Amino acid sequence: MELKYQNQLEQIENCPVENLKGEKILFRCVENPMTENSFIPNAVLLKPKFNDNCLAWGLSLFSNYDSAKQMLNNLSKNKQMNYSNIAKSNLTDLDGIKHTSKNKNHFTFYPEKNTDILSKFALVNEK
């Protein structure tokens, strides 16, 4: 499987790390309206600061709506103006690599090169 940003990932030892197998519903803070810009990893947004950080090349996702909402509420006021919605997706092994961190509510997702990430996510209207 070739991942988006494959060339950069290959420059980092053991990147990406293990892959959680199976389908998983995950949530992400996104822009309003949701665009491709909602799915740019920190390594691209903040380069060159995170070029050597494997996790920064993935997308930060959450295992439940409440965890994503908490992250949204913890963003700076400036970022909250841009990232004001939460989207969810049922990601499969074909979509990319899902890595879970020590915090079991947080995942890093490395999309497969040809995954249409925008079509994989839908806005959530909860609470």
Q: Give a yes or no: residue 12 inside a domain.
A: no
Q: Give a yes or no: residue 6 inside a domain.
A: no
Q: How many domains does the chain have?
A: 1
Residue 92: pLDDT over 70 = yes
Residue-wise pLDDT for 39-87, tens only, equals 999 999 888 888 999 999 999 999 999 999 999 888 887 777 778 899 9
Q: Is the pTM of this model over 0.85?
A: yes
Q: Give a yes or no: residue 22 inside a domain.
A: no
Q: Give a yes or no: residue 77 inside a domain.
A: yes
Q: Give a yes or no: residue 91 inside a domain.
A: yes
Q: Give a yes or no: residue 46 inside a domain.
A: yes
Domain range spanning residue 53?
31-123
Q: Give a yes or no: residue 24 inside a domain.
A: no
Residue-wise pLDDT for 10-32, tens only, equals 999 999 987 789 999 999 999 98
Q: Give a yes or no: residue 17 inside a domain.
A: no
Q: How far apart are CA 114 and CA 67, in angstroms?
A: 28
Residue 47 is predicted with a pLDDT of 83
Task: Provide DSSP, the chain.
Answer: -PBTTHHHHHTSTT-S-----S-EEEEEEEESS--GGGG--HHHHTTTTTTT-GGGGSEEEESSHHHHHHHHHHS-HHHHHHEEEEEEEEE-TTTEEEEE-SSTTEEEEEEBTT--HHHH-EE----
Q: How far apart are CA 106 and CA 66, in angstroms?
A: 12
